[in-house]
Amino acid sequence: MTSRTGADLIVATLKARGVERVFALCGGHIMPIWMALDAAGIEIVDVRDERAAVYMAHAHAAVGGGFGVALVTAGPGVTNAMTGIANAHVSRMPVLVLSGTPPRPQENRGALQDMGHVALVQSITRVARTVRHAHSLPRELDNAISAALGHGGEPGPCFLDFPVDVQREPIPEVLFGIEQVAGRPQPRARALEEDLDAAAVLLRSAQKPVVISGRGANGASDALARFLTVSGAGYLDTGESKGIVPDSHAAHIGAMRGVAMKDADLVITVGRKLDFQLAYGSPAVFGGAKFLRISDVPQELTDNRLGDVALMGHIPQTLDALSDRLEGDVMNRDWTIALRERHVQRTAGLADALATAPSDAQGRIHPNRLLGEIRKRLDPDAIVIADGGDFPSFSRIALSSATYLDPGPLGCIGLATPFTIGAAKAAPGRQVVAATGDGAFGFSGMEIDTAVRHKVPLMIVVSNNGSWAIEVRDQMERFGKSVGTELQFADYAAMARGFGLKAWRIEDEDAIAPALDAAFAAMKEGHPVLIDAVTSPEAASSDSKTGLAWVPDLQALAAWDEAERSWLSSEVNS
């Protein structure tokens, strides 16, 4: 026996898996782990709220690869973290959340923060367990990390908690050397040759194929770009994979998204669920198109719409195998070429449209004018985080970046500041810019204090329009109801300066360029900065008008529902 403890073994496992930092908020029930992290030289990014710790771990994993780690204390520490866990769950993001519980002899005796955490988080995690024996730590940690990374299923958050006495328990040195501590490479599935052949036949017979990428494509950018070139398919990215294929690629037809989805005769999903953002794959939107589903997890092959061919396997390898089969006859499809030309025509004037977006009668800035100026200053490898109700709809169109994060399919607004911190920690040297609505900023804006304390170079741009969901309010009023939260035009720049950030408040068009020049220069010097731009609440994005915003236009939603009902009715009658 040695003086090394369960907490030491937990930390040794994290270090062996390449974990360099943990996002955490201190508490008595996790102090042994906290102290072991410090002793091992693993950075602790201490936060103001546990939800933010999980958000940071989420963004760190999305940008840096591997899995992110959040450490939260018992009771309210876990309940505070649950929104972050739920967001990682729906986004299928590998996050390991660790917590503590009272010592085992004090269980069910009214100890401080004595709660059954596992029952709370079980439905939004891949693994949720209380580790009650120190000798079980290597096996339990390896199981949770493997599940988080998607070994055998969808990746996603996993939760482990440890009684304090388990954390402090001395354990044999031999346990530090067993294979579960360092782990093993992830096993990879491979699509069957006959299925690949069938997929190649499907591709050759299609006239109007379109590829829609998602979560699973993020590690396959080169293979996906090659496949798009060889197959001649059009390409639509989504928030889950925006930026992984350069905008200059001839397959990009995003500005023709609606036409492409309606006219395609073959839809190829790559690591992407057919969720609400893709109308669940409904024939009311996609017509009679055939489907080719490609993924490394079964859940992305069987949701809502089954593929005419489904390929289960390591995604880069699968795409390369298809490209090899098509390489001899590179397909220059007239349909894709025509849509690409129209896409280029539509996007060619984007810079001018952004630059000329008019202020309102009170002189408040149009969001597009602000975003157009940010766009000019972004590096090619910039990381962009978009947050808010309708504001991400402006940002998605206006801002081009190599890496893009947003509220995801849960619509979990309020994550801009922690996402930006997590992303910046994962990618030092890259620009990290968050564009957020003012309502969303308020959810976790206090984490600017974390950015200052940890000297994280980043930029938060707040579109301060005094309200959120104003379009939803207007839409609901059509139905005889009034909904929406009116906010004051608060001085977020003054708030930021109070926490030690360099901050600028922009109240008219002439102030945009000088403020952004100064802010980008300060960020390059290593400072966290904030831009508080007073924007027009009257501006509405194109998505809010077409029903594709995070909170859909209710009339558009009703129209789509009616179209699907009509299609179902015709199918039944026939």
Give strand pairing partners of 235: 211, 252
Residues 364 and 535: beta-carbon distance below 8 Å: yes
- For 161-225, the three-class secondary structure string (H helix, E strand, C coil) is EEEHHHHHCECCHHHHHCHHHHCCCCCCCCCCHHHHHHHHHHHHHCCCEEEEECHHHCCCHHHHH
156 token code pair:
């996603």
Token pair 């503590």 is found at 100
Contacts for 200 with CB less than 8 Å, ≥ 6 apart: 322, 325, 326
DSSP secondary structure of 486-546: E-----HHHHHHHTT-EEEEE-SGGGHHHHHHHHHHHHHTT-EEEEEEEB-TT---HHHHH
User: Cα dist. 422→45, 59, 427, 524 in Å?
Assistant: 9, 5, 9, 17
Q: Where are the beta strands (DSSP E) in 352-455?
A: 383-387, 403-405, 432-437
Quote the CA–CA distance of 205 and 429 in Å, as a whole number: 46
Residues 85 and 49: beta-carbon distance below 8 Å: no
Q: Is 471 a catalytic residue?
A: yes
Residues 419 and 58: beta-carbon distance below 8 Å: yes
138 token code pair:
């290597």
Q: Indicate which residue of 471, 477, 538, 571 is catalytic.
A: 471
Residues 157 and 412: beta-carbon distance below 8 Å: no
Q: Where are the beta strands (DSSP E) in 364-499?
A: 383-387, 403-405, 432-437, 458-464, 467-468, 485-486
Quote the CA–CA distance of 405 and 239 in Å, as a whole number: 7
Identify the CA nearest to 462 among candidates 432, 438, 494: 438
Quote the CA–CA distance of 375 and 280 in Å, as a whole number: 32
Contacts for 175 with CB less than 8 Å, ≥ 6 apart: 9, 135, 137, 138, 181
Distance between start and end Cα atoms, the chain:
75
Residues 335 and 360: beta-carbon distance below 8 Å: no
What's the gap between Cα 394 and its chain centre? 17
Is 573 exposed, middle or buried (CB count within 10 Å of its CB: 0-12, 13-18, 19+)? exposed
Token pair 């906290």 is found at 34
What residues act catalytically?
471
